[in-house]
A and B are shown apart, each in its own frame.
Chain A
């Protein structure tokens, strides 16, 4: 740097000296002093250019030029404030959409989970033969724990809801029963107090609780003396022994209460598969090694215990287990916003190309004066960078809101609690994508506007701006690209709408309109065979049914599309007619009003009634699929079955219509409904869902319902208040998410693309005013001119659409592979999208075409 300064310091003096010497030589040869000076200067050449070239030798010149380019670019942008605003806005949309999606991807997929050394954590699923995966029994887990050498620890847990009584109010919180080593396995050092000790896993010692940090702050004002005190949880006394570290939530992202897992009676059985398992791998142990060892242990267990036949283990990294299911939806989102980005860039490039047209003379003059094309391209790049970063700054600043927007559009599909916040990686991404935009745009604009015949442009009469051929071609290609992208997104949207409509036409087997639902955690302490649950349910249902706008009310373990997986094997008393090896069904406990509340129709026999009480004969109701599968062509009403390991026989008394438990696009599962009073399987009644059919807005009934329940049992908590329609919507969330994203962005794309077409044609017409004037003077009719311009636009649109069509078929294939249950694009959808786009394109062409046809030949010709 210093050397450069020294070297360049005397350059001007040296050059002046050189010219002086040459002048002297010329005078010596006999020229007049004036003549001698001019001759010397001529011979020396352009001092300014040569100085610049010399400076260039000393490297940093590039940077200086770049700064110069930026300053010049800024001046140009300020001068065209309107155009600049349009460009910046367009780019901000493109960059903003991508930044928002990326910041979610970053929060969900790229960042490690917040647990200590989370890469060592794995979810361990019990497998049964091939295909079936599920939760574990504590006894089996004990064997795995004792015999393995690949894990530093394994913990079982079961998520549930517990209600906390505080300040004379009961509120339900996400909670979990966890193995006593849970906090050790998670490596979560408690903020206050201690974790569980091993003896707290035995009955009589299990009334201790660890509170979530947020709960401690919000409900107990961070009282440090809380540890050691008793609190009321589900009407029992629990001693608070610790406060979980801040931000620690598992298994749910809202879990606030942890109690020790002290298995009671039936839970000790090897086939009581009630618990999920999380494990921490020893450093250096691979998933394969750990799986192999667990499988080996399981094989030994299978020989020893009849319940453990075909037992095996499936290990999934915790991260995959927690966020893996969001991956595909996010990928689709990324693809969609990628196209929006492309359109935005194309749009901006067209805008800038039209402006470059006005600068053709400037560019030609600079080329003629010896500016290299590279130098001009650098200048365009500087301008592009300025624009891109002007757009990126607000786009990045708005990330918090755009992310919130995308998440709200996702309808609970994206379970991200706090994805925003200024992350270096997100900032890096924004900078990267802005630079990419600048590069793309300036290359296209530079290519389109510096390929011109210098002498032709300079010879041109300044008034007539004949078209630069390569610029026009570039502009056309860009408009076609925009149309192609818009068409692509439009077809994608169309296909999604189509499959959505198709889906919503499928009758799910129940009527989801005007149904309010809420979850009721049932206190195991309070309700037992001696004090049955019917003491709560029957009077509460009676009160609710008596409310003026209530038509029916009932409870069930899980509503359709709320959850599946409470399955049991069973056998018929007579020999199974179906010949199926495995007879299994979704088992649910219901109350009598449930079917009416959901509008599920009875097909044969009778429904469950209030008289199917605790001491009445045991009965069950099955669904159509159950009949089709296990008793085809045979009357099922009156047959007797028993669930595995339950000695009592149940009589099937009725058949109801299929209510699709796993979504409308999924086949119905065989279902076996028991009266809740007769259910011996505690899990089925641990938490019940209340469903109430109302005559008015269901959510407006919330207060009345709560009141009715609390009149019967003041301590009964409720949570998860929502409508049946919302449950269905949430279940179909990922498709809805993709649909909304595509719809919003394809609309945006459509607007941008048609604006591009409009601008391109307007410009083309303006350029051809003279020619059109001549045509009209020579006798061309209004409609000829109109046709000529419309044809030009339609051709452009058609080219774009042809490309877009091919691309959209490929895109749909990708989306379909990522999102379950999207139908292939129907020709009708493509035709509809095509027609819509073509109409909009023609509309965009119409105004310029009319303007062209109205050209006054006299004015146009005189203009010359």
Chain B
């Protein structure tokens, strides 16, 4: 495995992971484990996230001011950090979602030109 490939893969993962985290937090403050679970569950377990990689991503989002972290108690009475979407994060999510839709549609058109045309 060469380093180049690995890097590309990570980048792709990072970008999407940020988006998925923001989307999950839209429903309200959640702790780390719950975010991982939610992503797996909502994607019908197609997206297998390396759960630990959530943490660098979460910290990146905090640093950018899109989410905040606060202490809380989890459903089974343990202390845990809960992450909450900020106003800035909400805006960012809207932006990223649009971008993603456009991106996915474009890729789709390229991969299956015929289907796309017949649908539209």
Contact = CB atoms under 8 A, between A and B. Distances in A.
Interface string A45-56: 111001101101
Nearest to B37: A25
Contacts of B56: 50, 53-54, 56-57
Given A370-B6, A454-B1, A20 B51 contact: no
B52 A7 contact: no
Contacts of B1: 368, 454-455
Contacts of A367: 3
A304 interface: no
A11 interface: yes
Contacts of A57: 56, 59-60, 63
Contact of B59 (A13, A44, A58, A368): A58
Contacts of A11: 55
B90 interface: no
Interface string B12-32: 000000000000000000001
Interface in A2-17: 7, 10-11, 13-15, 17
Nearest to B76: A24
Contacts of B62: 7
A18 B60 contact: no
Interface in B29-82: 32-33, 36-37, 50-53, 55-56, 59-60, 62-63, 69, 74, 76, 78-81
A21, A367, A372, A455: most-surrounded residue (chain B CB, <10 A) = A21
A45 B51 contact: yes
B3, B52, B53, B76: most-surrounded residue (chain A CB, <10 A) = B52
Contacts of A571: none
A46 B33 contact: no
Nearest to A371: B3
B118 interface: no
A267 interface: no
B81 A14 contact: yes
A725 interface: no
A50 B32 contact: no
B7 interface: yes
Interface in B64-120: 69, 74, 76, 78-81
Contacts of A15: 52, 55
B7, B32, B55, B81: most-surrounded residue (chain A CB, <10 A) = B55
A610 B11 CA distance: 100
A22 interface: yes
B8 interface: no
Q: Is the interface of A mostly helix, strand, loop or mixed?
A: helix
A43 B63 contact: no
Contact of A372 (B7, B52, B80): B7
Contacts of A370: 6
A18 B34 CA distance: 9
A20 B51 CA distance: 13
Interface in A276-311: none
Contacts of B3: 367, 372-373, 454
Contacts, number: 72
Interface in A334-369: 367-368
Nearest to A17: B80
Given A7-B62, A372-B3, A373-B3, A20 B55 contact: no
B52 A50 contact: yes
Contacts of B69: 7
A7 B56 CA distance: 12
Contacts of B37: 25
Nearest to A453: B2
Interface in A34-92: 43-47, 50-51, 53-54, 56-58
A46 B56 CA distance: 12
Contacts of A10: 81
B39 to A, nearest CB: 12
Contacts of B81: 10, 14
A455 B69 CA distance: 41
Contact of B50 (A13, A45, A54): A45
B88 to A, nearest CB: 17
A45 B63 contact: no
Contacts of A13: 79
Contacts of A455: 1
B33 A45 contact: no
Contacts of B74: 17, 21
A21 B31 CA distance: 11
A47 B53 CA distance: 9
A50 B55 contact: yes
Contact of B53 (A21, A45, A56, A454): A45
Nearest to A21: B33
Given A17-B80, A368-B1, 18 more contacts: A14-B32, A14-B55, A14-B81, A15-B52, A17-B33, A17-B78, A17-B79, A18-B51, A21-B74, A21-B78, A22-B36, A43-B51, A50-B55, A53-B55, A54-B56, A54-B59, A367-B3, A455-B1
The 3 closest A-B pairs by CB, nearest first: A45-B52, A53-B56, A50-B52
10 contacts: A7-B59, A14-B32, A18-B51, A20-B78, A21-B33, A43-B50, A57-B60, A370-B6, A454-B1, A454-B3
